Chain A
Amino acid sequence: MKLDGKKVIALGERDGVSGPAIAECVRSAGAEVVFLETECFV
């Protein structure tokens, strides 16, 4: 997947991959994070 220059909505999960972890990952691939949130589903 090419993420360079893309805008990304990062929705993470407490017991899975957190929002900041997703953001860090996609930023390193050149994407811009426009919304970042971690949710807890329990």
Chain B
Amino acid sequence: MTGRAAVHSCSLVLAHAPDLVRHGSKPARELAADADGLLASLTKALRSYDDALGYAPHQALIGNLRPEALRDVERPWWGHQTEPRADGPFGVIVDEVELYRRMEAADSFGLFKLDGSPAVDGGLTIEQAGRIAGSMAGAHDLDESLSAPVLLENLACKVTGALALERLLRTTGFPPEDVPYVIGSGEEAVGDRYQRGGGNLAKAIAEQAGCVNASGSDVKAFCCGPVHALVVAASLVAAGVYPNVVVVAGGSLAKLGMKFAGALRHGAPVLEDVLAGFAILVGPPGDGAPELRLDAIGRHRVGSGSAQQAVLEDLVVEPLERLGRGILDVDRYATELHDPEITEPAGAGNVPSRNYRLIGALAVRRGELPRDELDGFERTHGLPGFSPTQGHVASAVPWLPHGLTALRTGEIGSTMLLAKGSLFLGRMTELADGMSILLEPGKE
């Protein structure tokens, strides 16, 4: 037991799923109410696989482009394609045919069928490139939790999580049978009518990736689930409970096409046509792996209130003060990294930019940053948004493999992962949530 933990690798994957966009929550509701050709408009605005590959933020996600380099790519990024590569140093972008193939293979109950026949009895017809590919059936006539739309979401999450985990194990050479524990950090509610959200998709993902000696569990905290899970994983390793832990998450099918109306309004393509997934290998210090500072965890406390200043005091200021450091001592902050080309046409603004402005403003207020340098804080300490709006995936994680590289090469001396979760959406509290953790170069 070292009392310390390090991040050895992180994989990020995308699965292009244009024909599943109509099954996203927002499009499905809008299409159900539509009588004037919305499906045709939506279909026309979907991207080809080549267009999705050539989209610069996706290339940044799989590591063929540095996120910072997006500042030099002319906007809109979707109108200025880069080299369309399916493979990168951090991950892969699979097409819909491959996604469907994996979904059929991963479905242990024969509910997702690629038999070319439409759905019957409450199932969902699944299309691919303008033809019927097959269907997703429900598993119970009266159980909403086992209905076809819910099971399709869960299966898509399982498959994209497994894709990321398989990729992580292949690129690191880490034997699947040596993984002892997997923590799921996605947001899907797996269960039936008696235990909606019962969970442990982690174990299903571990099974799919061949981790026969693994157990697992899920850590749920909306979009900040992954950072919570990373802290738990690091703690388990540091305490000597397990030699290694993998944090994993698949994509959110419900969020496909979430802001499609804004895209259609602005004549932009529907960029929310990809499912994302990631896997993070946490282990003991060594091999130069960047270390997680378990003595500098930031957590949004119940009594802190929901004002942004209070949230950021808890997540940024308090853990840094514990180390005797200031806000500017962190070289790079990774916060909500949502792609602004998705959020801006929908009127939601540039989310990462807004978060960096708030952190910078806090530094000004504390006298750590001159007011006239506030505008430059985002460039010097932040990142452009380059993640699809896949909830938990977008919260800091897309930076992680880039950050690991920058810490290993000595380009940066520290980076903070900072995620926020919207607990109030579940109507059980008006609270938000947040979690942060600092990473530094490995000492061994």
Contacts and interface: CB of A to CB of B under 8 A. Distances in A.
B273 interface: no
B418 to A, nearest CB: 12
Given A38-B432, A41-B343, A15 B425 contact: no
Contact of A16 (B308, B338, B394): B308
B346 interface: yes
Interface in A1-42: 14-21, 36, 38-42
Contacts of A15: 308, 336, 351, 354-355, 420
Chain A interface SS verdict (over half): loop
B424 interface: yes
B305 to A, nearest CB: 7
Interface of A: 14-21, 36, 38-42
Contacts, number: 52
B25 interface: no
B355 A19 contact: no
Q: How large is the interface on B (under 10, 10 to 19, 20 to 34, 35 or more residues)?
A: 20 to 34
Given A14-B422, A38-B306, A19 B389 contact: no
A38 B348 contact: no
B430 interface: yes
Given A15-B420, A38-B430, A21 B351 contact: no
Contact of B336 (A20, A38, A39, A42): A42
Contact of A18 (B307, B351, B389): B307
A17 B348 CA distance: 13
Interface string B326-363: 00000000001010000100101001001100000000
Nearest to B348: A41
